[in-house]
Chains A and B, each alone.
Chain A
Amino acid sequence: MGYASDLLSDVLANARPGGLWVTLQTNRNVAAVAGLQELAGVLITGGRQPQEDLLEVARDQRVNVLSTPLSTYEVVGRLYALGVR
């Protein structure tokens, strides 16, 4: 399962547990929200680097953090084509 959004409030309202969240946001609250929503992981796009405190929270919350140089649009397109729905 995947969910693409850059609004944390949107993810809090709509992302489902176990899903992969695709975003360009890099701040600490991303990991906190992923932990709260029991997401499988966060994929940060556009070659952006997660901030250090995001990684700290992610370690605590056992949230996987991935990154890609691709844009959100491109990586979501590829994931969807691969069957990540």
Chain B
Amino acid sequence: MRSASAEGPFPEYAADLHIHSVLSPCADLEMSPKAVVRRARQAGLSLVALTDHNAAWNAPALRDAAGEAGLHALYGMEVRSQEEADVLCLFDDLEVALAWGREVYATLPDIPNDPLLFGDQVVVDRDETILRVEARLLINAVDIPLGRIAQETAARGGLAVPVHVDRPVNSLISQLGFPPEGCPFDAMEISPFGRAEEMRARHPWLRGFPLVRFSDAHALGEVGRQRTIFRVRAPSIREIRMALRGEGGRSFR
């Protein structure tokens, strides 16, 4: 990265902040944090996050693996709200992310996973050593409404981004139609299939939100297939929020 002056222009960070790891039952077993980091570097990314369903147990391994590889990382998860709408909760503080993960997990119904039906849910370390297998089915809805997930995330200094809003399943649009009044969402994510202008035409309220694109990778080859470039002083939540709002010379594309 080239160094930046106090006012900019700031460096660019190519970010993919919606990636699943081996902890999500629907993700490939090859998606260890170490492998994701390697693939992210190959794909020219400089900032990643692992956003597993309703859990952040592989975030510590991401911190370690990313640190070793000189890649930046944010920490969080993809929470499935009570209404079954999925939303990214992203933090730059690992402990805050883990604490929110514990709160979310506490409201996840205690239904055991069946790995043959849903896939494996594995917690690993930086070297891909299996630490434990998560027994509770993660691909379920937690008992927290979408609006409150957004509020709690914001209160903890994180970013809340409803995912693939253009998709007909598990999206804010499919489940709620439009965002409840006053929800502190920082951006809306659209999928590789989504066309921004068409979405804005059909859902005028979308014009009030920055639109971002990430991969939603469930396999290594998908990492970085969509990305958002943030022009910020540093890859922190505070800076990214400024970029999303176009404040202080920060921007995104």
Min CB distance, A61 to chain B, in Å?
7
Min CB distance, B173 to chain A, in Å?
15
Task: Please classify how large the interface on chain B is, using the bins under 10, 10 to 19, 20 to 34, 35 or more.
Answer: 10 to 19
Surface stretch bound by B, among A4-12, A68-76, A77-85: A4-12
Q: Of residues 42 to 85 in A, which have CB atoms within 8 Å of B's CB atoms?
A: 57, 61
Write out, one digit per residue, whether chain A residues 10-51 have a CB within 8 A of any chain B CB (1) or not (0).
001100000000000101010010011000000000000000
- Please determine whether A36 and B117 come into contact, CB atoms closer than 8 angstroms: yes
Min CB distance, A42 to chain B, in Å?
14
- Please determine whether A7 and B141 come into contact, CB atoms closer than 8 angstroms: yes
When A and B form their complex, what is the total count of cross-chain residue pairs whose Cβ atoms lie within 8 Å? 32
- Please determine whether A12 and B109 come into contact, CB atoms closer than 8 angstroms: yes
B-side contacts of A32, CB under 8 Å: 114, 117-118
A-side contacts of B137, CB under 8 Å: 12
A interface majority secondary structure: helix
Say yes or no: A13-B109 contact (C-beta < 8 A), given A8-B84, A29-B139.
Answer: yes
Give the nearest-CB partner of A33 in chain B. Answer: B117
**Which A residues are within 8 Å of any B CB, using their own CB?**
7-9, 12-13, 25, 27, 29, 32, 35-36, 57, 61
**Which B residues are within 8 Å of any A CB, using their own CB?**
80, 82-84, 109, 111, 114, 117-118, 137, 139-141, 169
In the complex, besides A8-B140, A29-B118, 14 extra interface pairs with C-beta distance below 8 angstroms are A7-B141, A8-B84, A8-B141, A9-B82, A9-B109, A12-B137, A27-B169, A32-B114, A32-B117, A35-B117, A36-B111, A36-B117, A57-B117, A61-B117
